Structure 1
Amino acid sequence: MRLLFRHRSIQTRFTAAAAALSLIFFTLIAIGLDLMIRNRVRDQLFGDTQRVATGWIGSMKPGRIPSLIPNTAVNLLQLVDSHGRVVAASPAAAGRPPLSAVRPPNDDRIIHLTECSHSGCFVLTSVRVSPQEASLVWGGEPHVVYAGTAEPPVLSTHILEFSTLAAALLATGFATWIAWAAVGRALRPVAAIRARMSEISVTDLSLRVPEPPGSDEIGQLARTANQTLSRLETAVQQQRHFASIVSHELKTPVAGLQTQLEEAVLYPDDVDLRETIKAGLATTERLRALIDDIMVFARIRTAAPEPPEPVDLGALVHDELVTTTRDVPVRTRVKGEVTVLGNHMQLIGVLNNLVVNAQRHAVTSVEVSAGREDGQAVVTVSDDGDGIALEDRDRVFQPFVRLAEGHRKDPAGTGLGLAISRAIATAHHGTLEIDDSTRGARFVLRLPLLKRHPA
């Protein structure tokens, strides 16, 4: 049964559950209602029979039994003596044996009971005449009065059970229909979302799923799906743009290498093979460096991050910075403890990349500082070179973008160093920007500080 429902729709499963619960609930209500009605009718009948019986006894006088029987629905009346003889009876009970053989005990003069015979069942009340009344009327001989009436159809037949059961089934059916309609209405946006999602493909990520009004779970799901699609569209566009740029960057050195080799093959007497091989090796080395940087950049952007660890940026600045052979000194300054949570090798790679880049463009010196500011770790790398124009401060972080000055000072560069550095900063939930400076370029790396929990 569980496996059967697993393959059904949510609407079917919820409706079936609602139907089962409704059937149980309304069946219990029907049973309770049936018992309540039965008890209510029976109590009313017993009240009527008791009232008639006690009223008849109260009208009896010494030596005379009232012949006038009250005009009531309680039409079965009998006065029975201590020997079981019917002394007086109403027309409907005349000629019958005593309505019941049950006689109330002395300590409980009134009892209610139901008797059945071949002619049907009736409810009656048996009242023992009090000793005072018996002594006054019959010289102390005990007598019993029976007052009864035929059971009404609500008690003698199953019409009440059938009626309450039918009402329970109708209520269950109505509740099931309500549940089916309500769940269907609630899931209607899900069907629209599913239909739209089936139309979305990798070639066209511009479509968005419809967002229902309100802030319920389905609305939140739709908005989250649209946000995910937006991020996916941006990522795919960036990936396509990156692939286009990579193919262009790789095509140029490969085409040059192919030209050199073809010249060596076609004109062996006119080409210096040694120089061709040296040039080919240089081109191959540039290709290797380019491919390595591309793989690092792609891995940072797409691969799952490694488990982070506490990293002391002050120690990195003091002890692990790698500088070039250029005669440009690097001055460092660390203020206080600057510990973040991240990847040690990636962060030292960012700092080294920034320092090497600063040395390349500096005139006399490079300054590196690390400290805390507004709950963040801040590392600043400044040089005293020509600086970077305001309109180029975002471009230099794009893959393969190289300004004229950078290309002149480092012709063999790949143009991926700053792009990789910013990608690492972003992966560490931080930023890498270029701030204003009175002279030269000022790169600022901001990362969240490691939160210390009290012991």
Structure 2
Amino acid sequence: MALSVVFLATVGASLAAAIRYKTEADAFEDNKRVAGQWSAAVRAGTVPRTIPARRPVDLVQVVDARGRVTNASRAASEQLPLSRVRPPPDDRFQNITECGTSQGCVILMAIRATPTPGSPVVYAGMTEPAILATNELDIGIAVGAAPIVGLVGWTSWTMLGRTLRPVQTISARMAEITGTDLSRRVPLPPGRDEITMLARTANETLARLETAVKQQRRFASDASHELRSPLAGLRARLEEALAYPDDVDPREAIRGALATTDRLEAIIADLLELARLRAADPVPPERVDLAALATEATGARVNAVPVRVRAPSAVPVSGSRIQLARVVENLVVNAQRHAEGEVVVRVEAVDGQAVLTVEDDGDGIAPADRERVFDRFVRLDDARRRDPAGTGLGLAISREIAVAHGGTLRVEDSPRGARFVLRLRSLDGTPARPPAAGASGA
């Protein structure tokens, strides 16, 4: 509104100045035409005593070199000159505005009849037009602009209210959203303007936040459940040892308590690893030979199930050596847990990707469970039977590390047993392509 007033005031002032300039210029032009006619008559000696003149240029005088009026129109004085200004010989034409005369303010054109020193001067002019002498023009423009200002103000107010109404609705809805209820969404205004884009972005952010909070709550619930079970077992074993000292072997009770403590320690360590992967700053990448890393990580494994590594050549990748070694160890441990006689680890470069495959000859994983095994604390029945002390976090940590390195970790089809495939971008390859259509998983 204020900008509209300033704009219209500027336009009005400019318009008034232009009108005044045009009026004054036209007046001087009319005066010059009439003064030029009577200047020629002076030089010809044909000027009557009473000069005939018509409005608007009705003030005409001929004044001699002594300042006496020799000829005048009826509207002009026959005694007092219209002006004391006399044009010099080298500038015969002059525009003059005189105030204080009997006619008030007048606009004159003074023309020296000849360049000679004693030449008479012809004055032709008119009373200053009211448009120049009064504020009528300004008042008229202001009166004319008032409805425009009102219309602009009403339009601006209406449009601003219509524009801000969705913002108020969005603000009110955002105020209703709390940490306990993130299911609400802000309404999307019609159209494709910036406010609609803002509302859409807010809804997308709320959806991501809701998903993150649900995952956090589920994680907290699963963690508390997984920690409660060994703690309850530990408490029961210790209470039994105290309640029945004659029936319970103290050494066996201590060994059981230590085993439960080891499982608690493993769960807590894995939980801390997950939290660090999510919250810590990225580790500066280094060049890692995935083939050599797989050989080193599996060579240290002592287990009844042998591990064969097939890595005919170096496959360099960029990342954290410690974290990638953790992935290889987790996959090999998981494969040894389910294998019947052998685990095979393959490392190769395929289409610009570094591909690490860990296969076992066990019972395999059902297609319906191939994504579920990467969820936190998920342990299939076979895993619980083969390794009761497991935490159910190894595969979840492995996928977090793979994603943090810009790669993927999936369970894919295999003729026998389970087949885990880690794909990372190879430093010696071209940009990675998606997995083949026959691959299973997300």
TM-score (norm 2): 0.85
Cα-Cα RMSD: 3.2
Partners of 1:281 and 1:412 in 2: CA distance: 12
The partner residue of 2:283 within 307, 326, 344 is 307
Paired residue type of 1:92: A
Partners of 1:318 and 1:402 in 2: CA distance: 27
Q: Paired residues, what number?
A: 426
Kept in 1, the 8 Å contact 2:230–2:264? The answer is: yes
Answer yes or no: is 1:282 the counterpart of 2:259: yes
TM-score (norm 1): 0.82
Structure 1 match to 2:304: 326
Structure 2 match to 1:107: 90
Distance 1:395 1:180, change over 3 A: same
Q: CA deviation at 1:353?
A: 0.6
Determine what percentage of the aligned residue pairs are the same residue.
50
Structure 1 match to 2:230: 253
Kept in 2, the 8 Å contact 1:324–1:359? The answer is: no
Structure 1 match to 2:184: 207
How do 1:377-416 residues align onto structure 2 when only pairs under 5 Å count?
Answer: 377-416=354-393
**Secondary structure of 1:250's aligned partner:** helix
Kept in 1, the 8 Å contact 2:86–2:110? The answer is: yes
Q: CA deviation at 1:94?
A: 3.6
Partners of 2:197 and 2:428 in 1: CA distance: 31
How do 1:233-252 residues align onto structure 2 when only pairs under 5 Å count?
Answer: 233-252=210-229
Answer yes or no: is 1:97 the counterpart of 2:80: yes
Structure 1 match to 2:55: 72
Q: CA deviation at 1:170?
A: 8.1
Partners of 2:43 and 2:268 in 1: CA distance: 126
Answer yes or no: is 1:129 the counterpart of 2:113: yes
Kept in 1, the 8 Å contact 2:316–2:426? The answer is: yes
Paired residue type of 2:71: A
Structure 2 match to 1:35: 17
Structure 1 match to 2:243: 266
Distance 1:35 1:194, change over 3 A: same
How do 1:146-185 residues align onto structure 2 when only pairs under 5 Å count?
Answer: 146-161=123-138, 182-185=159-162
Structure 2 match to 1:11: none
Structure 2 match to 1:7: none
Paired residue type of 2:304: R
Structure 2 match to 1:10: none
Paired residue type of 1:129: A
Structure 2 match to 1:54: 36
How do 1:356-435 residues align onto structure 2 when only pairs under 5 Å count?
Answer: 356-435=333-412
Paired residue type of 1:328: P
Answer yes or no: is 1:446 the counterpart of 2:420: no
| Higher mean displacement: 431-440 or 161-170 | 161-170
Partners of 1:178 and 1:372 in 2: CA distance: 67
Partners of 1:225 and 1:177 in 2: CA distance: 32
Which structure 2 residue ranges, 5 or more long, are not aligned?
431-442
Kept in 1, the 8 Å contact 2:292–2:314? The answer is: no
Distance 1:265 1:397, change over 3 A: same
Distance 1:452 1:104, change over 3 A: farther
| Higher mean displacement: 51-60 or 61-70 | 61-70
Distance 1:373 1:196, change over 3 A: farther
Partners of 1:304 and 1:176 in 2: CA distance: 54
